Structure 1
Amino acid sequence: MSAKTAFTNVSYDLAGLLNDLKMGSIALPDIQRPFVWSNTKVRDLLDSMYRGFPVGYFLFWANAHDDRARQIGTENKQYKNPARLIIDGQQRLTSLYAVFNNQKVLDKNYQERQIEIAFRPRDARFDVCDAAVTRDPEYIPNISVLWEPEKTAFTVINQFLSNLKERVELSPKDEQRIAQNIERLFNLKSYPFTALEIEANVDEEQVSDIFVRINSKGVKLNQSDFILTLLSVFWPEGRKELETFCRQSREVPRSDASPFNQLIMPDPGQLLRVSIAHGFGRGRLQSVYQILRGKDPETGLFDPERRDRQFDTLKEAQAQVLKLRNWHQFLNAIIGAGFRSRELISSKITLLYAYIFYLMGRERYKIEEHDLQPLISRWFFATSLTGHYTSSSETTLDGDLARFRNIRNASMFMSELNNMIASMLTNDFWEITLPDRLDNSSANNPGLFAFIAVQNILGAGVLFSTKTVRDLLDPELRPNKKALDRHHLFPKKYLERLGIEDTQMTNQIANYALLEWPDNIDINDAKPSEYVPLVLKTRNINQEQWQKMCYEQALPENWQEMSYESFLPVRRKLMAAMIRKGYESLSRN
């Protein structure tokens, strides 16, 4: 006797699916990510459908009584309780809904977004609409207009041909091909889809499990997505809290009570990682999904009571993670380490992992802020500068957390964290490893960001200016152009004249200094020995002031007279020494 399947196979055409979405009888359950595809992926989907290629199936759940369902789109729906929920294929169906109904959807930043896809009928080419496409009479700039009410393929074709013939000469064969291609596009609403519909009597946990099993075969979801699925089924309020927090972190607040900040815009999955690490002491999420389902590690059975207890632990941890006082006090510690804007944060993961240790110190060990903040400043500085979490971040975090399982009090916590910092920032690191890592041209190099952070900490001045780096990196300033530019001390054009053309050489970190942008323009492509005396004279900068500027920018004495090859290794060592000095000033605070 064969096992009874939990689903049925149903055929739809696109028009029927879109109508059900518009009326609200199909909706997105609260167990999916609230993001839509990029316009490029939508374009590729439409191109595949137009050519008659298969684009995958949908997985629905027949359930008319889920009050937590989110509707696709932003307009009101006729049906408040949808009969079917989208479990798999949400990205495709949301994108199609937006295009064919000319409706806005919410993007990953929780903002309304319009998807505009263009079509060139002459050769049946799909493109993402841009200014060039809009000006080109060969294109229908936004194909959504084809399916507006009262429009037919006949009227669309005649109008397009009439407009095009005013600009371009068309042969009868051209007109026929264009008409056929527009009609084929217009008829995409007849495109057939297959849907697997899970029966209504399948419970929420099984639906969640089916969703995870399907998506775990590819790379669509990571472990945090799996756990967000469980939150949606067993604690929907918790997921809503995460999403609200993340949305508000991106919006300038109308009041002070907001997670908005200038350092990071977290995603729900990232904050969920913080909650799990804080609540369960685990960095690797692979086993947490089973823990939250209430799986007994000895029997392998799932126990609802065990599941409820685990969710109680998670709820308590998440409340502490989302507490605004904790959030902003932690961010103050990052700012205290010199990282005053998100442009200096090379890794969001490193920053959020530092938040875990702040929460441990604050909530578990009750450490006072005046002791905890400088400790967390040093911890973030060290982990960011060394790239502590760059490779195998989950495994590294898991090992770090394991060191605190037997820590009983605040003194032991602070001692252990300081020991870990000392093991990263050894004398060899400062004198050998860091200068070697500064031998790099990456614009996202942690050493470069640490150097700028140190200039913030030490109040260093801007080269050729009376202003400080701290002043011009104030995140509250929002000029049309950045107040500071990265300036090539040895200009690229000058180096090219010397035969040095490789960007990995010309864009070396040691070849950069921060300047006010008018200065950067004025210097242009002159060699240092020419532009330095000119700028010093023009700005009335005396020798004492110049020596101070060079010291604060980690520039060797008379660097403008050095060869480029001699200059780079000397400045790397000076930059490393300056970074060390700035870090050590944190230790004295």
Structure 2
Amino acid sequence: MYDQRVTIAEAVREIQQENYLLPAIQREIVWKRDQITDLFDSVLQGYPIGTFLYWDIEDRNRDQYTMYGFIQDYITTTKYINTNAQTRNSQVVPDGSGDLKLVLDGQQRLSSFYIGLKGTYTYKQPYKWYRNESAWNKSRLYLNITSDPNEELEEGGDRTTRYEFQFLPVDDYDGRVVSRGDDLWLRTGTILNHPTHEEQEDLIHEIQNEHVDAENVTRRRHVGSNVRALWRGIHDKSYITYFEEKEQDIDRVLEIFIRTNDGGTQLQKSDLLLSIAQANWTEYNAREELTSFVDHLNTQLPATNSYGKDFLLKSCLVLSDLPVRYRVGQFNRENVSKIEDEWPEIKRAIETAATLINHFGINEKTLTSRNAVIPVAYYFKRTGLTVDKLRRSDEDYYQTKQDIKKWLITSLLNGTFTGNADTVLRTVREVLQGTDGEEFPLEELNEEVRELNKVVGFTEDVADNVLEYTKGSKRTFLALSLLYPENDWGSVKPHQDHIFPSSQLQESALRDNKFSEETIQTFTEERDKLANLQLLTEGENTAKQDAPFEEWVTDQNEGFYDRHFIPTDPEYHKLENFDKFVEERRKRIKAHLTSVLGE
């Protein structure tokens, strides 16, 4: 490899002509507007902006790899509005007419130059609804050409900024030169139309004559200084210093990419591994398949979830019976090919597991460890079972569903996957591999996990700890859900409800009712704990509201008491006996959990 140099204008032209493209082993745009403006300021101040790394693709290999173009009109997300702007790079098939280079290092910087000089950047304004089109600002990059470049701008932090670049909304500022307050702003891309020194001077004179009074010498000088600095940065200096890799071996290129990117702060491991998968998959487009599947899991199932690419890629390792440890070395060509072969079944199993867990009432706000989902997905991949089967009234399937629920929720409550998660995953997978039929091996799993010195099931100590959980926490919901094994929440959002209304148990309300200070302290300490909580549907909770428990409970049927572990004696329903109520309900809940979920 040896270094070469081109100007920014030349690089932008190569991007536009699709002679610079992006390999599949690249990530999406992650730079914000201030990072782009800082980059342009660095160029005009003459600061180094780092080297670039290109891969020179020979003509004979052009058809072997998936390639992507640079984004010209960028938007931070296309999730909420219809637009021609892009969040993700589009696939490109090169026509074979130019000297093709794939950018291995420097995508963010080159994308910034392309957007700043040829494109737009659309972003959401704060305090406006995402789905409101007026909330989105389509903007172009402008340079303040009447500011004094010899004076530092007040940007804060350690940066010394001298050139004021800003993205201005096109609805308000759409000319080559625009006025904004007392300042003149030049659309940055204008400089591309003036490549020679003479054309640069003509542009300066045009702006001065059209927009600046002849007697305002200082202002005219600032215009000249700023435009010349922009012209030098874009046309005169060869700012793009790049090294060129000519070897055609994809494994070598992957190694180079890993070495140049794995230490960066912006490149996540999932981005790198996804890129490696993209480079090796032959039947599916890995980037599109995996990222769109993550979106599907998070937005299209019975509840909203928050799975990520890291979860999905680790799941691929476990479900493909590959080494569990999540590191770059596991994603070699052979392993990635195996994952692709099994991808349809992996995808089905993960969706089945995530869907069933949503039916348990668990969502993004209550799932405390996504690692706990992976063994459930492995079970579904091995057995081929579906959620529809498990939701039948058939006794065997009902018991299987309950066993999965017990194992999952007790694992979450006991923190089974906290620390040494890989060891737990390997152990659980070995148990599932050795099980025949469709039965979920609850007892075998607990036995093997116990050998890892992990807490299993519900001991009395665990139950006592759980009963101290308070309203609103993730684990409180998980514990409460164990009291309602028959409930299939689906898309119904369960509510954690105070049995004795919180309003009646506030200090001020208790004092108004002449309770002693000692009683007030006892009642307020127990008010938000699990023994005074139940799960209700939204409709049930709305109907109950803040009605005194003693009155509301009289309208409930007999099954209500058993379902919610409520003592039937009316004396327990009186506010003055709240402490006795929680003590009695605590006993009932503890007995149930240790009996049903004990070791």
TM-score range, shorter chain: 0.5 to 0.7
Report if the CA contact (8 A) 2:121-2:167 is conserved: no
RMSD of aligned alpha carbons: 5.8
Aligned to 2:353: 330
Equivalent residue in structure 1 for 2:338, among 313, 323, 348 = 313
Report if the CA contact (8 A) 1:205-1:233 is conserved: no
Inter-partner Cα distance in structure 2 for 1:504 and 1:195: 66
- Of residues 94-103 and 61-70 in structure 1, the stretch that sits farther from structure 2 once superposed is 94-103
Report if the CA contact (8 A) 2:573-2:581 is conserved: no
Q: Is residue 2:90 matched to residue 1:84? A: no
**Mapping 1:384-395, distance limit 5 Å:** 384-395=412-423
Aligned to 2:429: 401
Aligned to 1:68: 66
Letter in structure 1 aligned against 2:106 = G
Kindly state the Cα deviation for residue 206 of structure 1 after the two structures are TM-superposed.
0.5
Q: 1:183 to 1:174 in 2, by over 3 A?
A: same
Report if the CA contact (8 A) 1:61-1:84 is conserved: yes
Q: Is residue 2:292 matched to residue 1:247? A: yes
**Mapping 1:501-516, distance limit 5 Å:** none
Unpaired stretches in structure 2, ≥5 consecutive residues: 72-84, 125-130, 157-163, 186-215, 391-395, 512-516
Q: Is residue 2:493 matched to residue 1:448? A: no
Unpaired stretches in structure 1, ≥5 consecutive residues: 1-6, 128-138, 165-171, 294-306, 460-469, 525-530
Report if the CA contact (8 A) 1:36-1:91 is conserved: yes
Kindly state the Cα deviation for residue 388 of structure 1 after the two structures are TM-superposed.
1.6
Aligned to 1:282: 323
Kindly state the Cα deviation for residue 284 of structure 1 after the two structures are TM-superposed.
0.8
Aligned to 2:204: none
Report if the CA contact (8 A) 2:138-2:169 is conserved: no
**Mapping 1:520-535, distance limit 5 Å:** 532-533=547-548
Report if the CA contact (8 A) 1:284-1:398 is conserved: no
Inter-partner Cα distance in structure 2 for 1:554 and 1:31: 58
Indicate the SS of the match to 1:217: coil
Kindly state the Cα deviation for residue 216 of structure 1 after the two structures are TM-superposed.
3.1
Equivalent residue in structure 2 for 1:234, among 254, 275, 280 = 280
Inter-partner Cα distance in structure 1 for 2:339 and 2:56: 30
Equivalent residue in structure 2 for 1:416, among 444, 455, 467 = 444
Equivalent residue in structure 1 for 2:506, among 460, 485, 494 = 494
Q: Is residue 2:272 matched to residue 1:272? A: no
Letter in structure 1 aligned against 2:102 = L
Kindly state the Cα deviation for residue 567 of structure 1 after the two structures are TM-superposed.
8.9
Q: 1:328 to 1:160 in 2, by over 3 A?
A: same
Indicate the SS of the match to 1:10: strand
Kindly state the Cα deviation for residue 29 of structure 1 after the two structures are TM-superposed.
0.6
Report if the CA contact (8 A) 2:270-2:310 is conserved: yes
Q: 1:205 to 1:195 in 2, by over 3 A?
A: farther
TM-score (norm 1): 0.62
Equivalent residue in structure 2 for 1:37, among 24, 30, 41 = 30
Q: Is residue 2:361 matched to residue 1:339? A: yes
Indicate the SS of the match to 2:311: helix
Report if the CA contact (8 A) 2:26-2:272 is conserved: no
Q: 1:114 to 1:285 in 2, by over 3 A?
A: farther
Indicate the SS of the match to 1:28: strand
Letter in structure 1 aligned against 2:182 = L
Inter-partner Cα distance in structure 2 for 1:548 and 1:413: 31
Inter-partner Cα distance in structure 2 for 1:396 and 1:333: 22
Q: 1:393 to 1:186 in 2, by over 3 A?
A: farther
Equivalent residue in structure 1 for 2:371, among 346, 349, 352 = 349
Q: 1:278 to 1:45 in 2, by over 3 A?
A: same
**Mapping 1:541-580, distance limit 5 Å:** 541-542=553-554, 548=560, 552=564, 557-558=572-573, 560-561=575-576
TM-score (norm 2): 0.62
Equivalent residue in structure 1 for 2:247, among 201, 205, 210 = 201
Q: For this pair of structures, how many residues does the alignment match?
A: 492
Inter-partner Cα distance in structure 1 for 2:303 and 2:227: 50
Letter in structure 2 aligned against 1:334 = I
* Largest Rg, 1 or 2: 2
Letter in structure 2 aligned against 1:143 = L
Aligned to 2:464: 435
Kindly state the Cα deviation for residue 208 of structure 1 after the two structures are TM-superposed.
0.3
Equivalent residue in structure 1 for 2:2, among 2, 8, 12 = 8
Kindly state the Cα deviation for residue 31 of structure 1 after the two structures are TM-superposed.
1.0
Kindly state the Cα deviation for residue 517 of structure 1 after the two structures are TM-superposed.
7.3
Inter-partner Cα distance in structure 2 for 1:489 and 1:543: 16
Equivalent residue in structure 1 for 2:262, among 209, 212, 216 = 216
Letter in structure 2 aligned against 1:32 = Q
Aligned to 1:3: none
Kindly state the Cα deviation for residue 37 of structure 1 after the two structures are TM-superposed.
1.9
Q: Is residue 2:380 matched to residue 1:358? A: yes
Kindly state the Cα deviation for residue 389 of structure 1 after the two structures are TM-superposed.
1.6
Name the % identity. Answer: 16
Report if the CA contact (8 A) 1:333-1:376 is conserved: no
Inter-partner Cα distance in structure 2 for 1:334 and 1:55: 48
Indicate the SS of the match to 2:342: helix
Inter-partner Cα distance in structure 2 for 1:568 and 1:179: 76
- Of residues 354-363 and 187-196 in structure 1, the stretch that sits farther from structure 2 once superposed is 187-196
Q: 1:417 to 1:46 in 2, by over 3 A?
A: same
Indicate the SS of the match to 1:344: coil
Aligned to 1:457: 485
Report if the CA contact (8 A) 2:324-2:426 is conserved: yes
Aligned to 1:135: none
- Of residues 172-181 and 78-87 in structure 1, the stretch that sits farther from structure 2 once superposed is 172-181
